[in-house]
Amino acid sequence: MTEVEFDLAVTVLTRGIITTLIITVAASIVTVLLGLFVGLIRVSRHRPLRWLGIAYIEFFRGTSMLVQFYWWFFVLPLFGVFLSPWNVAIFGIGMNGAGYGAEYVRAAIQGVDQGQYEACTALNFSRLTMMRRIVLPQAIRAMLPAWGNMFIDVLKGSSLVFFITISEFTSAAKQAADASGNYLLFFAVALFGYYLIARALITPFVRWLERRYSRGFVREASA
């Protein structure tokens, strides 16, 4: 590999990594906000809202993310709806991730000790106050490990945006490999690059959140 080819490969890979990080962060924000919303309506007292939450979860968990991308990017224009590749990438991954995140929210909320609900009733808390001040802080603490795995899935899902014309880390690695013929090197860079992003960025961030939301909670003494 010549020096010019190496410099070009580094430039392409750097742009691909930056694109992947931007999509991962933006899609994770969509996943968190939408996952919380769908998870909350999933445990709503109102049956229509519960069924709406169930329908959302079942649809996005039961269908392929890539096929969803194709629908947003190639099929919706047939009905006059045109979305940019970046909108499809960020909201497509975020909406798909929210289908899983909403189930984590539901499980965490329903896992809060029943005595907490009874105490809120005894104190005459409204449901909104109960959720905001008592239930959600405990539920968030419980769901964070699962959400950490979900953020890593969002990172890996970002590799699919290549199919809607966005050059991210995986496609950048392929472009560099095609140009140089060194597939072993550049696909190894891609393979361990995703691992390093997950291990060096996402995992420490989630652990920091776990420590932050664990403040004020007394650990149960082991038997």
55-83 pLDDT per residue, tens: 999 999 999 999 999 999 999 999 999 99
The DSSP secondary-structure symbol of 80 reads: T
Nearest to 13 by CA among 138, 214, 196, 220: 196
Above 90 in pLDDT, residue 85? yes
pLDDT classification of 221: cutoffs 50, 70, 90:
very low
pLDDT classification of 140: cutoffs 50, 70, 90:
confident
**How far apart are alpha carbons 175 and 127 in whole angstroms?**
54
Q: What is the chain's Cα-based Rg?
A: 21
Inside any domain, residue 120: yes
Nearest to 148 by CA among 90, 84, 207: 207
Inside any domain, residue 220: no
Angle formed by the axes of helices 3-42 and 136-157, nearest 10°: 140
CATH number (domain holding residue 69) = 1.10.3720.10
The whole-chain average pLDDT of the chain stands at 88
Average pLDDT over residues 147-163: 93
Inside any domain, residue 17: yes
Structure tokens at 185: 């090197």
pLDDT classification of 181: cutoffs 50, 70, 90:
confident
Q: Number of folded domains in the chain?
A: 1
Quick check: 173 and 183 in contact, CB under 8 A? Answer: no
Query: pTM value?
Result: 0.87
Inside any domain, residue 221: no
pLDDT classification of 132: cutoffs 50, 70, 90:
confident
Inside any domain, residue 180: yes
Percent of the chain with pLDDT over 90: 64
Inside any domain, residue 96: yes
pLDDT classification of 212: cutoffs 50, 70, 90:
confident
**Residue 9 pLDDT:** 84
**Residue 61 pLDDT:** 92
Neighbouring C-alpha atoms within 13 Å toward the C-beta of 210: 13
How many degrees, rounded to 5, is the angle at CA 28 between CA 16 and CA 198?
Answer: 60
Structure tokens at 199: 């291990």
Residue 12: how many other CB atoms lie within 10 Å: 19
**Residue 202 pLDDT:** 94
Structure tokens at 104: 């984590």
Inside any domain, residue 108: yes
Inside any domain, residue 152: yes
- Domain of residue 29, residue span: 3-214
